[in-house]
Each structure stands twice: as C-alpha cells, then as structure tokens.
A and B are shown apart, each in its own frame.
Chain A
Amino acid sequence: MSDFGDQREGPVRIILVGAAVALLFGAVAVKATLNALSADPRRPAVVAGETARVERADIVDRKGELLASSIAVYAVYADPRAIWDADEVARRLALVFPDLDMAETAERISDKSRQVVYIRRGLSPRERQTIFAMGLEGIGFEEERARIYPRGTLAGHVLGYANIDGKGLAGIEFSLDERLLEGGEPVRLTLDSAVQFAVETELAAAAEAYDVEGGAGIVVDARTGDILAMASWPAIDPNRVPDIPEGDPSRLNRATGAVYELGSVYKPLTIAAGIETGELTGRDRFDLQAPLEVAGIPVRDTHTGPREASATDIIVESSNKGTVAVALKVGGRRLEAFYRKAGLLERPDIRLAGVQGPLLPPRWDDLSLSRVSYGHGLSVTPLAFAGAFAAFAADGERVSLRIVDDGRPVKRERVMSAPTAAIVTAMMRGNVVRGTGTRADVAGYRVAGKTGTAEKPVAGGYDDEVNMASFAALFPADDPRFVVFVVLDDPKAADGRGRTASWNAAPTAGRIIERIAPGLGVAPVFDVPEADPVAFRGARPERESAL
C-alpha cells in the first residue's frame, strides 16, 4: 500500500469511529428523551418497597371533632421453632398483658410443628414498641388496620361500625362506605358533639330514673335541617360491636330504626291543619264535656275539660275530643294531605342506613281520621316526627333533614303559613306555661311544646298499662329555631310520680334544653310577657286553603 493511501485512510477511520460513538450516544440520548416525554405519571419510575395504602376517611362532627378513624394496629405472633424458653417468653409477655394465661400461652408457643402462633391482636403502637424493646426470641409483628371510635358511645348508633376488613356494616359507615373508602377529606356530620353528649346523658339519666325499656332523643336546627343530635338508649359502643350479641337491645337505633304511635304530640299538627284549612278560627268553641262518638266508638279525655274550650284549651288540656272535632271538620283527605306535606307519610330521606318508613292507616275514614288526629293508628320514627314538628320553628316550612354536611342543597316545602305556625307555637307555649308540659319549662328559654302519652299497641288492641311517652319542644318560643324531641318507651310510675309524659319525657326535654341552649347561642331572657294565644281570628281568612 502506498504512503498516499495510508494518509487518506487515517482521517476516514477517525470520522467513522467518531460517527459511530456519536451515533451510539445519540441513540441513548434520544431514548432517554422519549422515555421522559412519554412516561405515565401514574406509574412510579421506581417501584417503592410497599404500595401506598388509602386510609378509610375519618368521620368528624360539624366542628371537626374526630368521631371515627383508622389506625395501624399490630398482631403479635410467635414462631415456636425459634423459641428456646417458652415459659420465659410467656412470663415476659404477661408483663404487658396482665390477663394473659401464661401456662396456656407457653404451651401454644412450644408447639414446634407450627410456624406462627398468634398471641394477641389489636396492639397499639406503644404496646408493640414495648414488646419489641424486650428483645424476645421468636416474636414478630404483623401490621393491621383497625377502625376505632375514640369517643366510645358518643353518636354510636349514627356512626355505625365497620368490620375487620374495613367494610361498613351499619350507620354512616355503611351508607357512605364508598365515599369513606376513597379516603381523603373526612366525612363531616351535622352532629354537634356537645349537644349529642347532653342528649345522651339526659336520656341515660331518664332511663334510670323512669326505668324505661328504651328511649330516643333528637335535636334539630329547624331552619337548616341539620340534625344536631340523634341519640338512642341503650347506647352502643362501636368499638365493642363484635362482643355484642345479635338481638341485643343496644343494637337498635330507636330514633330511626323503629316506628311508634306517639300520641298527643300530633295535636298541634291537627290544630294547624284546622287553622290552615279555615275550618278553625279563634272564635270557635268546643264543649269538651259533651260525649263524642265516631263510628259508634266513644272518644274520651283523661280529664274533664271546659264546656267552652278554645283551640288553645284543646292543646293546653290535651283534649282528644277537641282534637277529633277539629279533625272531623278538616276531613280525611285534607288531613292526609297536610300530614303528607309534613313528611309523616314517607320514609325520611337522610343519608343514614336503616331508617324505617311509617305504618299507615289502611284508609282515612272517619274512625282512622279521629285516631290519627291524636297520634294513634299512624306509626312513625321519632326522626320523622321531629322533622314534621320542626315546621313550627321554621315559619311553617319543612326543611329536609340532613345528617351529613355534604353541601347539597336542602329541600323546603311549605306545610303551613307562617302565621299558623306562630299561632300554634303560642298555644304550645301555653301548654308549657299552664298545661301538661309545665315540667319542660326552663326559666329564660321560653320553651313551647306538647306532651304525648300513647298506650302501646298489643295483639288485639292497646295495653293501657304500658305507654310511649314523648315530648316535642321548640325554643325559644318568641323566635323558635331548635326542636328537641324525646321519646321514652314504657316509663314507670313511682311514689308521687305518674307515668305520663308530663312526668318523664317533658322534664327530660327541659333538662336537655337547659344544657344545650347556651352553646347554641340562645341567651336566657327573663321577664318576657307571654302573648295571649287565644287572640287569633284565623290564619288565612282572605284566601282559599291550599289543601
């Protein structure tokens, strides 16, 4: 080969090699760029040691106080093959778990044929750390998730519970299971923990004082529909549900899961229907001493009323006769329509599992009409009744109840005119001042309300020895906003005390109001003149009734 040929080949080789190297690095650069531009942001570039877990969302009250949460708990187990002195291990574990059966544990963890022997589950991080620090041979830990309710029985029936797999089985845990599984922001309820505690405490006190079979208490902000408290007695601790046998009385939420005939608490609604339809005016008078029969069945009052009873007297005296007389004038069709607008004839639409619908009369003939007018023959949940009654505190509008603060718009339906609501509220104030509800009165808080004492239905009729006692209250009467409804199942009489609602449900409601009013921004006002409730002529004399 000539020198001239070698001199030409050298630069060519340099160019070729340089081009090859450049091509190689160029390919790497292009590939890296393509990877960076096309990478799926959802797929991590580096696989972490463990997939991120989505925590079940917390549940909080309206003020953000924690009611339900999920935490890591641990199960401690032993590997018998790695244990030399089982007795010593059991003895050391008993220092952390005083209730541990040392002999039985030592025997179990001595079984070399087994690889894993669970000793205890549900350990807190602190307990785990304590055992870990002991440095025991053959002991290991497994992380689990647990749903806990740090406030015990508070709002237990509303919260419900979730099983060991984190699936909701009752209450809010069930009805909002999908939302809770998404994690993220906590689910906020409309409950106020302070109000809830007051209701639960007074309900428990009433249960003991009056030896009841069960009870329910509800507090509603009538203007917003927010359920501030919903309590059922006996209470339930969601942390202990697995230990509570099926059929135990505490599992029933008596505020929503059972229906009752509630008795005379319906009378204000019937009177309101009378005023609203124009069938009842302030001038009307009723002879409560005259006998009254409907379909051949006498209507009786528990005590003799006046011969010239006004609508107010009917409420104050809690007269069945007067109420039936008004109902007969209103008629079955219009009273049914009124009750329907009040929400009594359908299941309350709230985001809570297990809410029962009403038991309705088969037909609205005169006999059913007469009985329904004073709260028999129609069974509803305490929640449904509280929602209907709240119309008196919302200028005659029924605001749809809600227990979850989810920002959804509330529905409003006019049940009666604002004047009708104000007139009947004044009548109920009269009932508290001088009628059957005097024991519900609290100085300064202007309580209005109505008692209800209904014999409990049994096969073939009613048991006149067993009552459902209730009191429906709203306050403050001059500008009502809050509704308190208490129901007691079978309160007992005692020396100097009867078993009607005026002796038990009424004072219980009064004690609740006295406890919760300051926190709800209701200041006591004394020396307020009582308005004369008789001085009304008719709520809507100028136009036809909407019914």
Chain B
Amino acid sequence: MTRRAWAIGLFVAIALIIALYRAKYGARESMAEKAELQAEIAQIEAEIRVLRNEFAHLSRPEWIAEYARKELGMGPPRSDQVMTVDELAAKSREVAGE
C-alpha cells in the first residue's frame, strides 16, 4: 500500500511538473508567435502606408491634367460643354429624332 501510494504520488508530481513546464513554455511560445505576428502586421501597415503615399503622388492633379492634355487632348470643360444627366437624355432623344 505504501509503495503504491508513493508510486502514485510520484507519478502525479511528475505529471504536474511536466504540465507546468508545458504551460510555461507554451505561453512563452504563444507570446513569441504573437510578437512575430505583430511585427508582421506593423511591416504590412508600413507597406500600406508607403503604397498610399505612392498612390497619392501618382494621382496628383498636375500629373493627371498634363497626361489628359498630352495623351487624350482633354482639358477643363467650358460651361457650354457641361450637361446634366437629364439634359443628356433629352439631347439624346433630340438627336435620335433627327
């Protein structure tokens, strides 16, 4: 009886030690994984920030205006070149009627 109790007690003690060890190092691994993910997120956020700035730079109005002028022959509309959607529909009907 005494020997069995000692064996059980020893087994329980070892099991508890192993569990504690796994808990501690498991937590440490999780924290490391979390830090790694956070660093990755920060890196991606930094890349997004750079891309947003690149987009803002590439879409700056003077570049678009110059491209529109040189490549498409377009410029700011005169007042007689502006039409509402309703006016466009009426104009289309008028042209179709001709």
Query: Which residues from chain A sit less than 8 Å from chain B, CB to CB?
Result: 10-11, 14, 17-18, 21, 25, 28, 45-46, 48-49, 52, 55, 65-67, 69-72, 124-125, 148, 150-152, 154, 193-194, 197-198, 201, 442-445, 514-515, 517-518, 523-524, 526
Given A124-B50, A444-B82, 18 further pairs, Cβ under 8 A: A28-B20, A46-B35, A49-B35, A66-B52, A66-B55, A66-B56, A67-B56, A69-B53, A72-B46, A125-B50, A150-B54, A151-B56, A154-B62, A201-B62, A443-B80, A523-B82, A524-B79, A526-B80
B68–chain A nearest beta-carbon distance, Å? 13
Docked Cα-Cα span, A10 to B2, in Å, equals: 7
**B35 contacts A48, C-beta separation under 8 Å:** yes
Interface size class of B (residues with CB under 8 A): 35 or more
> Judging by beta carbons under 8 Å apart, are B31 and A14 in contact?
no
Structural contact, B56 and A14, CB atoms closer than 8 A: no
Kindly identify, within residues 66 to 84 of chain B, every residue whose CB is under 8 Å from any CB belonging to chain A. Answer: 76-80, 82, 84
A45 to B46, CA, bound (A): 25
Interface of B is mostly: helix
A523 touches B84 (CB 8 A): yes
Residues of B within 8 A of A514 (CB): 76, 78-79
Residues of A contacting B56 in the complex (Cβ-Cβ under 8 angstroms): 65-67, 69, 150-151
For B7-44 the 0/1 string (1 means CB < 8 A from A) is: 00100110010001000000010011011001100100
Q: Can you name 30 A-B residue pairings with CB atoms under 8 Å?
A: A14-B9, A17-B9, A18-B9, A21-B9, A45-B31, A46-B28, A46-B32, A46-B35, A49-B35, A49-B39, A66-B52, A66-B55, A67-B56, A71-B46, A125-B46, A125-B47, A150-B57, A151-B57, A154-B60, A193-B61, A443-B80, A444-B79, A444-B82, A514-B76, A514-B78, A517-B79, A518-B82, A523-B84, A524-B80, A524-B82
Q: What distance in Å separates the Cβ of A202 from its nearest Cβ neighbour in chain B?
A: 10
Chain A hits for B20, CB < 8 A: 28
Instruction: Give Cα A71 to B50, complex, Å.
Output: 6
Residues of chain B with a CB closer than 8 A to A523's CB: 82, 84
In angstroms, Cα B65 to Cα A197, docked, is 10
Write the nearest CB–CB distance from B8 to chain A, whole angstroms.
10
Q: CA–CA, A17 to B62, complex, Å?
A: 84
Return the chain B residue nearest A125 by Cβ.
Answer: B50
With A66-B52, A71-B46 as known contacts, state yes or no: A152 contacts B60, CB within 8 Å: yes
Q: Are A14 and B5 in contact (CB under 8 A)?
A: yes
B6 & A14 in contact (Cβ 8 Å cutoff): yes
B53 touches A66 (CB 8 A): yes
Contact B60 A150 (CB under 8 A): yes
Given the interface contacts A17-B9, A197-B61, A524-B80, does A46 sit within 8 Å of B53 by beta carbon?
A: no
Complex Cα gap A201–B66 (Å): 12
Query: What residues of A have a CB within 8 angstroms of the CB of B54 in the complex?
Result: 150
Q: A28-B20, A518-B82, A523-B84 are in contact. Are A46 and B31 (CB under 8 A)?
A: yes
What's the Cα separation between A18 and B7 when bound, in Å?
12
Q: Which 10 pairs across A and B sit closest by C-beta, in order of nearness?
A: A150-B56, A197-B61, A444-B79, A46-B31, A66-B56, A150-B57, A524-B79, A10-B2, A151-B60, A515-B76
B91 adjacent to chain A (CB < 8 Å): no
Question: What are the residues of chain B within 8 A of A526 when measuring CB–CB?
Answer: 80
State whether A154 and B31 are in contact (beta carbons under 8 Å apart), knowing that A21-B9, A443-B80, A517-B79 are contacts in the complex.
Answer: no
Residues of A within 8 Å of B1, CB to CB, are 10
Rounded to whole angstroms, the CA-CA distance of A70 and B52 in the bound complex is: 11
Set B2, B39, B46, B52: member contacting A14, Cβ < 8 A: B2
The residues of B that contact A17 with a CB separation of less than 8 Å are 9
CA distance A103 to B59 in the complex (A): 39
Q: How far is the CA of A52 from the CA of B41 in the complex (A)?
A: 12
Q: Are B61 and A154 in contact (CB under 8 A)?
A: yes
Residues of A within 8 A of B80 (CB): 443-444, 524, 526
